A and B are shown apart, each in its own frame.
Chain A
Amino acid sequence: MLGLSAKDTGFLLFVTFLTLATPILLQPFPETSSLAQFNAGYPDLMQRFAIYGIFAIGFNILFGLTGYLSFGHAAFLGVGSYSVVWMYKLLSFNVLPGLILAIVLSGVFALLIGYVSLRRSGIYFSILTLAFAQMSYNLAYSVFTPLTNGETGLQVYTSDPQILMGEGSTQVPNLFGLVMQDSIKLPVGDWLFTFNVGYYFTAVIAIFVFYISLRIFRSPFGLILRAIKTNRTRLSYAGINTRPYMLAAFVISGMYAGLAGGLLAAMDPLAGAERMQWTASGEVVLMTILGGAGTLMGPVLGAGFIKYFENIFSKINESVLHDWFGALPEPVRDFLIAIVSPFVGDGWQLTLGLLFVLVVVFLPGGIMEGARRIGSIFRRKPAAAEPAKLPETPPAVAGDPAGE
């Protein structure tokens, strides 16, 4: 179905289900429990899961398949955000024209940056992409201030033309009147579920672009990108000109980043140059590696993981810790708080850094490798009971030997 094998179709349906059920799945604790602060099912955060998931899925097409590490993808994120806000200013608060512009414009940017950067490989390629992104960042603050509004950031003013806005038009981001920030709240017993328009809008787009990435992974194009990663020079002696493939992968991943940046502005009608900063480029690298570069689901999980940390761990401050350890005798409590507090609240990045180190050292394949190892523990027993036999149909093609 949809040009996929039965196994992949099942996989896609599973991912679709998880994405659509996210507002329920991420809300496991009742509102009344003290664990409710670990719930992640609120619109803001879920939108970010989906948006950064898109960013990471696209990044993975470049980095995961070809091994070319770009340190400049945040530039496309910024281009996407500015595109959407400009369309708000010129046309109306309908997000659609802006998102289309975001994808097209970031594709053009990626074509230019990729064309130059791909003249080099390895560390030189990474440095070139970083340099381009930092240049974009600086230009946004200097030469391009008429376009970016410099440090204030780009936003919509009442004096803007907004030529498509009529009398009763919605004054907030919407899709043909469907307001992004609207939510339906559904209390079930002690639980409270929030179904947000913006989340579902980003989720449907995320599922669609995940499907595209799945198709790319399974295509001959994907095979050649993998071959580039493992031995690029061999491909040229096999008659393949690797440059167009690399450039295509770079542009596709740039367009994903532009779409993600556009969606950020579709949820919150602002765009600032800090979105282009090198830290934002580094973040998507961390997401991809943490989740498992070159796997389909890994980058999405990595993105969710990091955004969860950023939003949930950062909220655990000393008073929360006092609540947790309140029942303990005072010296024990103070001791525990002294140990734990540097790692939570503002220290969430410390914890994330430690986790990252642990993953890279012990699980170089990221979260997905961890999942696979756990899976193989459970699978070992039945496998031993059956005599080993050769597969009749080649699973390397049916499944996915390099990814997954």
Chain B
Amino acid sequence: MSEKTPEKIKYSILRFLDVTGFTVFDPLVRLAFREEPRKQVESLVKFLIIPIIFIAACTGLWWVVAPNHKTKSGEVPTPDIVISSALINDTFSNREKTKESDFLLQGEDRLESLKEVEHLMAERATELEFLEAHLAEQESIYKTRTESLISPIEAQLNALKEKNRAARTGRSSEIDTLSLQVASGERPYEALVRAIREDGELYAMGRGEESVFKDQIEAIRSDKYKPLEDARLAVNAVADEIQFLKKRQGFLSESNRSVKLEQTKEKLVAQDGKLSNAEDAKAVLREAKAFVKLEDGIGRLETQQYASAMTVYLQIKRSIFTVFVGFLMAAAIAIPIGILCGLNKIAMACLTPIISIFKPVSPVVWLLIFQIIVGAFFPDPESHPFFLFFDSIPFINTLGINPSLIFSACTVAMCAVWPALVNTALGVASIDKDHLNVARVLRLNFWDRLTKIIIPSSLPLVFTGLRISLGVEWMVLIAAEALSSSDGLGKFVWDEYQNGSSFSFANIIYACFVVGLIGFLLDRMMIVLQRFVSFDGSETAV
């Protein structure tokens, strides 16, 4: 028995790897269970270590090549900068979460947190002072260093300038006399023309000589001084944190929900007094109106949620949600119509022109069309019952369902419908005649034939289609979000491109990896599903 259990564990792990398509790690598992170690090591080297080395080499190449290309948004970021931008995004999102919980804190907890935050703020303030001093020091060091480097060059430059200027004045007086001589007919005009040309050439030459020095100075100025950069970054980081702590302080005190609620309740009590003491009808009416307003305010405050800024994680969540909505829409349209087309040649003939015409249409066109159509459905989205309904569902309400999500989903669905539809139709149409004969002998009715024979037999192809669809959707979605500024990863990329801060470029590359990784995971998910519906035990193409 004790010998059997490890075997079982091993095979269940291997099975898992097989189903999820990570067979690359097979030898690792087998090695861990001491199965033919030589063979495992060999295939490990071949299919895991060599690829890892290759990837490492690519990353190395990136690291070397990237800084050599200067762009208007700075250098192309190296991997370490991309990683730090990922970390910055992570910090930002964590801070948003902290602020949210601060906003909702109440009673003793709130006061305790407030104390802690204030303590931290004091600590950071001293730290900032120290760091700023350090920064000033570094700045002066840098200044003196660059000055000492620049001043000899500048002296040379000034001398050169002086020389050039003198030469030029000499030449222009020469030209003046020449022109007088030409006017009086003493000399031919060719000499004057030559002199003018010569002057121009010499001037340009002089400028060229000057610009060599200027470039040198410029290079020294733009040369980054590492300690200074570091000092600046450290100051910025602490200043940032202090800013954050200040916000927290706000959310723990006057902007806190329970505090605001408390205040409004106090006001209400006061208002109650005012109302009961009011003398004439006019005053009563006025006070009563104010009373109602306050009561409403309390009602709103009680359910108020923290309005979180869009962090990258929220964008990811929203994009994935949109893709799933689009996917469900596409599947709901494609599968029934695909089955119909596969079953009925006339239906196929009717739909073929539509499929052929609309399949190649660019997602951008669909996006614009749906933007217009969806916009018309929801003239006032804030109070539309459809969106109010979504806002009342937990988890989904944090995603901010709005018309732009709907039309993004529609666009995505429109582009994804075709592969699913065509594959479903193909799956249904190519059903084995033998299987249909079984249905005929058993005299299955239409419904049974559909559910027991046709759909199961076409499922593998249906899922192949759905897998392609999901891949298309993910690609289209990012573009659609970028184009329509609908919240999501696409918008994240677009915003970064627009705002051009020092980390923008790194953020875009970070988003590129995030998009790729999620696309990969979505595809893997579909592979697993495909495995479950495939009945002939065949492998699924990765």
A, B co-complexed: no
Show the binding face of A for B, using Cβ within 8 Å: none
